[in-house]
A = this chain, B = another copy of it.
Amino acid sequence: MAEPLRIALAGLGTVGAGVIRLVEANKALIARRAGRPIEIVAVSARDRTRDRGVDMSRYAWEDDMVILGERPDVDVVVELVGGSDGPALACARTTIEAGKALVTANKAMIAHHGLELAAKAEAAKVALKFEAAVAGGIPVIKGLREGAAANAIDRVYGILNGTCNFILSTMEDTGRDFADVLAEAQKRGYAEADPTFDIEGTDAAHKLSILAAISFGAKIDFGAVDTMGISRLLAADIAQADALGYVIRLIGMAEADLTGAAPRMFQRVQPHLVPFDHPLAHVDGATNAVVAEGNFSGRLLFQGAGAGEGPTASAVAADLIDIARGEIGAPFSVPVAELEAMAPADTGHRLGRAYIRFAVADRPGVLAEITAAMRDAGVSIESLIQKGRAGPDGQVLVAMVTHEGPESAVSEALRLLEGSASLAAAPLVMQILGE
């Protein structure tokens, strides 16, 4: 048997402990499939004394994770600390600069610094792999980078945040409101104490920017992702979507727009109405799913557990097996120098159907005011639901679905209504996922 691939782990939280458990539990089959053993030799974390449920005494300990990659007995550093900058980024840089491979589950770091790190890795001819950064245990980076490599992909979208999907599908099943379900998710460990990154869509936006770059051969542009979370959703939105034949899912959606002189990129994270018969409508709980549309493959769907110790460890270990097998390619499928810089697409011209929910004062003339604004902006209304009675706050919800039309028309209608005394709160707009 060939020489082992020697691993150092930076970060010993849930995923780090999971990687240790996996590498131990599946040792023999990993060696058979990788062609050589994979051995953990060194670890680093903030707190050496914490009981992690696995025996750490077999591994060398480093207080400073940044120097793991400089150890002569280490071939690959697995970074599981998280955070876009700070120690994770320092560790990534020193590892690659030391000529060692880096495997990471850190979506924030890749979204912000992936191009720099990939360029460094290409120059050093070492692997930089991040399967675990997107959609947990689902091999979707590999699916896009290799499985669909022969295709021009012009659209990639999916359910990229398990916390939001757990909250939305629980709201759907129970009729409970957002805050209530979030509190339960926190208690059960499905949501962080500070859930902002998840519920405001930032985590999904990190992942979407990575998927878009690989799918379109584009430079990552996380800053251009138009991001809206799920915290403004009401139980009433879910109920009204249901009555109209939809479920609500937080969808990350990216499209390559090749219609102009220079290619542009559309990237948006937003709750969408998903028709009951769409495959993503059946993705419940903490599950993730990604759809990619290739010009020859057609629509491909990848689905599985989006987070958790086991699935994330599975993705990390798949990267390690690739490296053990000698498969070191361009991290973003094409070399960084050949990635296109795509400016953000203009969204006003996009055609689609939208769900718009207004919270209005319960008095005569309000519906006339709203529908007049729609008419004046050229928005055609397909259906409209007004809840009969005002709530204790004296507000009434009015929800409508538009016929297909430009997004700019909806924006214009909302602009006409801005400042109206009839509106008790800013309207909520969600796109309807098409075929």
Contacts of A34 in B (CB 8 A): 149
Judged by a CB distance under 8 angstroms, whether A413 is at the interface is no
Give the interface segment out of A136-144, A236-244, A390-398: A136-144
Whether A318 touches B279, Cβ cut-off 8 Å, given contacts A137-B297, A327-B327, is no
Min CB–CB distance A132 → chain B (angstroms): 11
Question: A172: shortest Cβ distance to chain B, in Å?
Answer: 13
Q: A296-B18, A314-B297 are in contact. Are A320 and B150 (CB under 8 A)?
A: yes
A90 part of interface (Cβ distance < 8 Å):
no
**A322 CA / B326 CA spacing, docked (Å):** 12
Contact pick for A321, options B149, B295, B320, CB 8 Å: B149
What is the interface of chain A mostly: helix, strand, loop, or mixed? mixed
Residues of the B chain whose Cβ atoms lie less than 8 Å from the Cβ of A131: 147
Judged by a CB distance under 8 angstroms, whether A338 is at the interface is yes
Q: Report if A303 contacts B (CB, 8 A).
A: yes
The answer to whether A329 has its CB under 8 Å from any CB of chain B is yes
Q: Nearest chain B CB to A128's CB is how many angstroms away? A: 15
Judge if A300 is at the interface, Cβ distance under 8 Å. Answer: yes
Contact B322 A294 (CB under 8 A): no
Residues of B within 8 A of A300 (CB): 137-139, 302-304
Contact string, A326-362, partner B, CB cutoff 8 A, digits 1/0? 0101100110001000000000000000000000000
Q: Can you list 21 pairs linking A and B with CB atoms under 8 Å apart?
A: A22-B296, A26-B296, A32-B334, A139-B142, A139-B143, A139-B146, A139-B147, A142-B146, A146-B321, A150-B317, A151-B314, A282-B282, A296-B317, A298-B305, A298-B308, A298-B311, A299-B305, A300-B303, A301-B301, A301-B302, A303-B303
16 further A-B contacts with Cβ under 8 Å, apart from A150-B320, A297-B315, A303-B303, are: A22-B296, A32-B217, A33-B150, A33-B217, A139-B146, A139-B300, A146-B318, A148-B314, A150-B321, A151-B314, A277-B282, A289-B301, A298-B304, A298-B308, A300-B304, A301-B301
